[in-house]
Amino acid sequence: MIGRLNHVAIAVPDLAAARDRYARSLGAQVSAPQALPEHGVRVVFVELPNSKIELMEPLGEASPITGFLEKSPSGGMHHICYEVEDIHAARDRLVAEGARVLGDGNPKTGAHGKPVLFLHPKDFDGCLIEIEQV
């Protein structure tokens, strides 16, 4: 069901500083910042030959990333995103297997303009999983 790894997301306390560090220190190509109010984050993507790293910071106090950074002030890995061919079929299969979909269970538009869903970390060995329709 899952396809290739789309990205690994890292929560950061200062997106501009993290963006600069990846570009300057690692010589990475990094996208311009993008606000995603529906998800409560501002993000940039570090382009890799076979995948991406998403750096994200809270967009307001109500952001789910705010709580994460309160527990880990210097930041850290937040989630892993896998690609799926059909997000509704993937959701239905996962729910039938006992996985919990976060939110209302309906896909939202993600940073790449494609439908995404998040799966409860307690159902996946402590890792928050995002699935994105390709």
Q: Give the global pTM.
A: 0.94
User: What are the structural domains, with CATH classification, of the chain?
Assistant: 2-133 (3.10.180.10)
Q: C-alpha angle 71/41/60, rounded to 5°?
A: 75
Catalytic residue IDs? 130
Give tens-digit pLDDT for 7-53.
Answer: 999 999 999 999 999 999 999 999 999 999 999 999 999 999 999 99
Give tens-digit pLDDT for 53-101.
Answer: 999 999 988 999 999 999 999 999 999 999 999 999 999 999 999 999 9
The DSSP letter of residue 49 is S
- State whether the Cα torsion 65-71-77-78 is positive or negative: negative
Nearest residue to 5 (alpha-carbon basis) of 58, 54, 40: 54
Nearest residue to 56 (alpha-carbon basis) of 95, 28, 22: 22
